[in-house]
Amino acid sequence: MFYTRCVNAPYTEGHIQVVRMMTKSLLLHGVKSILFNFDYSVARSTIEDRHVCKYRIDQKIPLVTRDSLYRFSAPIAAYAVSMEALKTLRFFSLEKALKRDNYVVNIVNCSRYPRMFLRGLSTAPIILHFYMSNVRLKPMTRILTEKADLIMASSYTLAQYLEKTGVNREKIRVVYPPIDTELHKPLAKERSRSKLGLPMEAEILVYIGGLKPTRFPAERMLSVMKKLAREIPEVRLLVFASANRENAERAQELLRKIRQANLGRNIVVWVKDLTDTEKNMIYSAADVFLFPHFETKTAIEPPLTVLEAMASGAVVVAPETSSLSEIIVDGKNGFLFGNSDFDDLAKVLANVLSNTGLGGTISQPARQTIEEKASLLITGARIVELYRSLLSGECASAH
């Protein structure tokens, strides 16, 4: 059973993806999930979840979309809170109906679940699951972390952060966000480029993600591309951002700066929602998947696109910071540069692009890393182990 909260714009899509892949990984191990979640029924989701859960219960909120949340206002906040309160009542009713069954309540990125203060209503274990380091341990959150049976963190870096904020180390377990390695897998570069209409002779960098400065620092990236274009005239940076108002507005400003910098031939920007199939093809077509900047408090740790790209066998270049250094071993399964050191980034990219045989030596280790650390089977097995230990009254090994 999952209890999730999705009023935290603008990362709603990533939030939903984490939960859906978790439920899918559990289903592979025969564990059924009941998913409570805000359903943005007027917003289009690109994440397919067929057969992910045996049961699914969504709280319909047809008036609240990602764009309206981006323009957050008091009436929208009040509406969202009221709907969450109603959802909690439905959750109480469901728990009462499930009293005879073994189940665990897994609360994902939400610290406002009142049933924790009413433990007498149910004996089911409760897990608080965090995958972003924007947790502020205010008095209520601190009480909830103390009352929870287990704290699940999506990286060791996040686990250390939670410890520093006062969470009991003995309660924390680490489970990386699951990646479907059957959806994201290596494809032939030439065929992928042909289907996407990309030039075969170009050196192609790809970025997929939001256009906030904490994820895509435009000015610095333009400076990096100027340097690269002087050394490698055929270099291309393809930027894909999901279709929402924030990205659309930032894309217009980015295109204006690209024209001013005379980089229109080297940088292309698309604001569109990508299916998993399209993303896999884009990862495979790239010479480098680029993750230019990482602000830990505004992103899932580790970033999902980095994990997907590695599963697809892409050569990833990312900052040497936070949870990324847990996944990427520099020069073995990807490349790291000094965080916020964009001169270093330009050097790393130039070296990778000029070494034509590098992709073949990085692709297999990158794929293997995800298969061993974050595949659906591995993640599901780890979560099932934690669930069983809680239901039996035992405690799985820490971290």
Task: Give me the count of residues in the chain.
Answer: 399
What mean pLDDT comes out for the span 78-95? 63
The segment with the largest mean pLDDT, out of 100-104, 125-129, 270-274, 322-326, is 270-274
- Give me the domains of the chain, ranges plus CATH numbers: 2-178+375-391 (3.40.50.2000), 189-373 (3.40.50.2000)
Q: Tell me, what's the pLDDT at 139?
A: 65
**Cα–Cα dist 14/370, whole Å:** 18
Q: Which of 4-8, 81-85, 100-104, 394-398 has the lowest mean pLDDT?
A: 4-8
- Cis geometry, peptide bond prior to residue 10 (ω within 30 degrees of 0): yes
State how far the Cα of 179 lies from the Cα of 181, in Å rounded to an integer: 6
CB atoms within 10 A of CB 63: 14
User: pLDDT of 229-269, one tens digit each?
Assistant: 999 999 999 999 988 888 899 999 999 999 999 999 999 99
Predicted confidence at residue 33, as pLDDT, reads: 80
Predicted pLDDT of residue 137: 58
- Given a cut of 70, is residue 350 above it in pLDDT? yes
- Which range (70-79, 226-235, 250-259, 389-398) has the least confidence? 70-79
CB 243, CB 271: distance < 8 Å: yes
Residue 316 has pLDDT above 50, yes or no: yes
pLDDT, one tens digit per residue, over 187-198 is 999 999 999 999
pLDDT band at 380 (very low <50, low <70, confident <90, very high): very high
Per-residue pLDDT band for 58 (boundaries 50, 70, 90) equals very low
Supply the pLDDT for residue 52: 42
Position 74 pLDDT exceeds 50:
yes
pLDDT number for residue 110: 66
- Mean pLDDT in residue range 39-48: 40
Does 46 score more than 50 pLDDT?
no
d(CA 299, CA 160): 17
Q: Give the per-residue pLDDT at 89.
A: 64
Query: Cα–Cα distance between 129 and 151 in angstroms, integer?
Result: 6
